[in-house]
Amino acid sequence: MGRHEREEPRPYENTGSGSFERALLAFLGFWHRNLVDPVGDFFSRTADKPWGLPRSRRWAICLSLGALTLVLAVVVVQAVIQGDQRDYAITTTQVVEQGVLLEEDYAACVMSIDLQGRTIAAETSCATNASFPAGTRVSVVQDPTDQERFLVVDPGQDWLPMPGDTWLVGGLIGVLLAFFVVLGVHRLLLHSSIPDSPLDARAVPTGADPVEKHPYPVMSGATDGFGESWEARKAAVGNGWLRFVEGDVRIRGSLLAALVILVTCLAIGLGSATHAEMEQDRQLARAQPIVTTVLLEKSSKGTSTMVRFGNEAVMLDYEPRWEIFLEIGQDIQVVEDPQRPGRLIPQEMADERGLFGILWDNVPTIIGWIVAVGFLAWLFVPRELAAVGGSLDRFLRRGKPRGRH
C-alpha cells in the first residue's frame, strides 16, 4: 500500500520511468502547483463572498454597474462625435489634391487612388450611397497628423457631422446595454433563488411579540416578492398545462388539427402573395432592357446585395442565386422596374425555375410551416410524439445486435 493512496490524487500520473517522462512530469507538476492551484484556491475563497454582502450593497453594485455602462456609452459617443468633427475640419481646411480612382471597396468605405504616380488608400465618408467606377477623378485631403491617412472629399462625399443623430443612436444603444447589464447582475446577485446574507438577519428581542422581519430593504424585498409571484404564476400555468397534456388525446388532437389547418392556410396565403409578386418581377425581367451593374457588396456580409447603378449604390430586390461564388467588382445583369425607378431585379429571374427553383423560392415559408407545426405538436401531443419516436427507433434497430447491459 503506497502512501499516496490516502492523499489527493496526483495532478499528473507518471506514465514511464525514462528521463523524458520524469522531466515532463516535473514540468507539468511545477506549472500545476504555481498556476492552476492558486487560481482554483482564489475562486474557491471568493465564490461565496458576494452572498455575504447585504442585499442593499448588492443592489448598489447592480445599479453602479448599470450607471458605469451608461457613462462608458457617453464617453464612446463623445469620442465618435469629436472624431467626426475633426475629419470634417480636415476636409474643409486642408489642401485638396487630385487623383484617379483605381478601385473602390464600397463595404469598407475605402478607395484605392493613383495620386500623382503613387497608390494610396483613402477613406470615404460612409455616409453616402454614391459609388464610382475606376477612372473617376477624385479629390482627397491629407490628415496633417498622419501622413499615411487620406480622406476623399469629392465626388459624392458628406463629412458633415450630425451630433443629434449620433447622440440619439448612441444613447439608445447605451440604455439597452445598461439595462441588460443591470438585468444580468440582478440575476447573478439578487435572484430570488439566491440565499440571503446572514448580515441581513434581524434578531427578535426576547419576550417581545413576534414582529415581521425584513431580511432586506423594502425596495429589494418588493422586487424579490414580484419575482417570487411571477415564478409562482409560471408554475401554476405549467402545472395546468401538464394536467391538460395528460388528458384525453382526442381533445388535444382536435385542437392540434385545427391549429395545423390554420397555420397551413396562413402559409399558403403568404406563399401565394410572395409568388404573385415574384411572378410579376419575372415578367419584368423578361420584358425590360438589360443593364449591366457592378457588384459592390454581398449579402453574406450581413447586409443586402449592393450593386453600382450609374453612380449610385443600389440594393437588389433579390439575392443572385449563386452569390457565394461571385466576386466583388463582377458584372451583374439587372433590369429596372419602370413603375419604381431605382428598383433593380436580377435578370436571372427570367430563367425557368423548375421544381428545385420553386422549392428554393419558398424555403422561408416551408421552414416556417415546419417549425410552427413541430412546435404545436410538441405542445399538444408530447407523450404521443415520444411513443412514435420510440417505435421508430425500435424499427430502425430491428435486426441489429444489441449492446451489453
Question: What is the model's pLDDT at position 55?
Answer: 66
Confidence of residue 283 (pLDDT cuts 50, 70, 90): confident
Over 50: is that where the pLDDT of 85 sits?
A: yes
Predicted local distance difference test score (pLDDT) of residue 314: 85
Phi, psi at 65, each rounded to 5°: -65, -40
Backbone angles phi, psi at 333, to 5 degrees: -90, 130
In angstroms, the CA 394 to CA 399 distance is 10
Is the entire prediction scored with pTM above 0.85? no
State pLDDT tens for residues 354-401. Answer: 666 667 767 778 888 898 888 888 887 877 777 777 777 777 777 665
pLDDT at 280: 78
On the question of pLDDT at 5 being above 60, the answer is no
Strand ranges inside 237-352, DSSP E: 291-297, 306-309, 312-315, 331-336, 344-346
Inform me whether the pLDDT recorded for 218 exceeds 70. no
The pLDDT score that the predictor gives to residue 27 is 76
Q: What average pLDDT does range 286-299 have in this prediction?
A: 84
Site of grid cell 453594485: 61
Q: What per-residue confidence (pLDDT) applies to 141?
A: 92
Per-residue pLDDT band for 150 (boundaries 50, 70, 90) equals very high
Give residue 18's pLDDT: 64
φ, ψ dihedrals at 97, nearest 5°: -120, 150
> What's the pLDDT at 325?
77
Going by the DSSP 8-state scheme, the letter that residue 316 receives in this structure is B
pLDDT at 354: 62
Is the pLDDT assigned to residue 121 strictly greater than 70? yes
- Report the percentage of the chain scoring pLDDT > 90: 4
Q: Which residue has the higher pLDDT, 217 or 133?
A: 133
Residues 303-360 have pLDDT tens digits of: 678 888 888 888 887 878 777 777 888 888 888 888 888 888 888 877 766 666 667 7
Q: Which amino acid is at 105?
A: D
